[in-house]
Amino acid sequence: MEKIEHREFLKKNKIDKKLLLSAIQEEIKIFDKMHDLLEKITPCGKGGLLKQLEKLDAEIIKDIYDVYGDEISNNELTEEFKEKHEASKKVKPKTKVHSDEFIIDQLVALGQTENIGRSTFIDLGLRKNLKWNTTIGKYLIKRIRVFKYRYNILILK
């Protein structure tokens, strides 16, 4: 991925992402976690992940424009917006931790359902301990190796 538009926009306008709505902050966190997976994923899976990252980046930019469209002029935020949100920099927002099922939903949406390492689940923030067969919501996480912690995601009906 050559350029990440939302990061460039935030950097250009000197905006801390903590000033954005929590929903947009969550999208950025998901993007960052998925971007970190680029180094760990197999070459054949990179294409799909890159497409998902590009879509998510476009969604984040669109959300920023939708929410803050009035304050944006010429692809920059107005001084009024910056002054209005300077005070909120000092307030640290509470971060919402994603549920385990939401994390699994994201992996399924990406098509990453086979041969997933335990470290990937941990990096994404999965809290439940994985055993040979672990049920999380509508999914069954099934261990597929004896000496390695590798899992497949199966959808329960």
Residues 4/57, Cβ–Cβ less than 8 Å = yes
Q: What is the pTM of this model?
A: 0.46
Q: Rounded to whole angstroms, how far apart are CA atoms 43 and 46?
A: 5
DSSP state of 40: T
pLDDT in tens, the chain (157 residues): 667 888 888 787 777 777 777 778 888 888 888 888 877 777 777 778 888 888 888 888 888 777 766 666 555 555 555 554 444 444 444 445 568 888 888 888 888 888 888 888 888 888 888 999 999 889 999 999 888 889 999 998 7
Neighbours of 32 (CB within 10 A): 12
Sign of the torsion angle spanned by Cα atoms 63, 23, 73, 10: negative
